[in-house]
């Protein structure tokens, strides 16, 4: 039954797709020996995206001592994973904004507030305990609830009722299973897998409601994301 419900979501015409530049970036960065020049050229080709990345890189959040004028400099100053996380994060926002009328009733303000709090916490934990790249932790936390947006696009008001029934976020997965036979974590993990995201990111998304931060059987990266959730 769960697999049937999952296939219904994954085969829906309302399923969001990742922008081409993000898909190409994931493909390029799957090669450990990728040339940073190729990455810079790819991002530069999308002028709006490049501007967002540079504006963010030059914000007080990253605390650079001198302005960063190009994507190539951003890659050198902050590293590939940081720039990759920014690009995928902005691409995720673009993907969600494409929902049209189907997403009007979804509370994106609460959604993004929670996602960003979790992502910043995940990055800080990663920087302190050094068990994972802080930027990959940030990206995993940003993406962990993406399945909620997808399920709302597919199930509409029926999914909004699930959200309304959940007194706390941790209660949502059980309510989703009862009413829709699957969870946003399972949906998000399947989509992340389709987008060829690294396995540990997929695992972190999938296991967010089925493990605890102190579970020794879980991967350290997964436990880090759960702790930030």
pLDDT of residue 212: 64
Residue 101 has pLDDT above 60, yes or no: no
Dist. CA 137–CA 120, nearest whole Å = 9
Q: Which long-range contacts (CB under 8 A, 24 or more apart) does 12-20 make?
A: 12/153, 12/154, 14/99, 14/102, 14/153, 14/154, 15/150, 15/153, 15/154, 15/191, 16/95, 16/96, 16/98, 16/99, 16/149, 16/150, 16/153, 17/95, 18/91, 18/95, 18/195, 19/91, 19/94, 19/95
User: What average pLDDT does range 62-79 have in this prediction?
Assistant: 87
For residue 176, name the pLDDT band (cuts at 50, 70, 90): very high
Minimum mean pLDDT among 3-7, 21-25, 97-101: which range? Answer: 97-101
For residue 223, name the pLDDT band (cuts at 50, 70, 90): confident
Residue 124 has pLDDT above 80, yes or no: yes
Q: Domain 1-10+98-229: which topology?
A: Hypothetical protein af1432 (1.10.3210)
For residue 99, name the pLDDT band (cuts at 50, 70, 90): low
Residue 219 has pLDDT above 80, yes or no: no
Dist. CA 123–CA 175, nearest whole Å = 29
pLDDT of residue 98: 60
User: What average pLDDT does range 76-93 have in this prediction?
Assistant: 85
Residue 175 has pLDDT above 90, yes or no: yes
Q: Which of 109-113, 137-141, 170-174 has the highest mean pLDDT?
A: 170-174
pLDDT of residue 217: 56
For residue 220, name the pLDDT band (cuts at 50, 70, 90): confident
Residue 211 has pLDDT above 70, yes or no: no
Residue 174 has pLDDT above 90, yes or no: yes
What's the mean pLDDT when you consider all of the chain? 84
- Kindly list the domain boundaries of the chain, sorted by start residue: 1-10+98-229, 17-80
pLDDT tens by residue, 12-69: 888 877 888 888 888 888 887 888 899 999 999 888 889 988 988 898 878 888 889 9
């Amino acid at each position: 039954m769960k697999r049937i419900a999952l296939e219904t979501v994954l085969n829906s015409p309302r399923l969001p797709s990742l922008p081409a530049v993000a898909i190409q970036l994931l493909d390029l960065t799957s090669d450990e020996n990728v040339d940073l020049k190729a990455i810079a050229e790819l991002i530069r080709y999308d002028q709006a995206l490049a501007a967002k990345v540079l504006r963010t890189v030059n914000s007080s959040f990253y605390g650079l001592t001198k302005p960063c004028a190009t994507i190539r400099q951003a890659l050198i100053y902050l590293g590939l994973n940081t720039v990759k996380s920014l690009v995928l994060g902005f691409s995720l926002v673009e993907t969600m904004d494409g929902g049209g009328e189907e997403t009007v009733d979804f509370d994106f303000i609460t959604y993004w507030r929670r996602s960003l709090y979790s992502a910043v916490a995940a990055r800080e934990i990663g920087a302190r305990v050094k068990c994972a790249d802080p930027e990959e932790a940030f990206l995993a936390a940003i993406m962990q609830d993406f399945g909620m947006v997808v399920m709302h696009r597919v199930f509409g008001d029926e999914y909004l009722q699930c959200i309304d029934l959940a007194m706390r976020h941790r209660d949502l997965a059980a309510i989703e299973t009862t009413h829709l036979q699957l969870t946003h974590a399972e949906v998000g993990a399947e989509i992340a897998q389709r987008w060829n995201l690294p396995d540990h990111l997929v695992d972190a998304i999938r296991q967010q409601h089925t493990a605890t931060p102190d579970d020794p059987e879980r991967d350290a990266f997964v436990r880090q994301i759960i702790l930030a959730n």
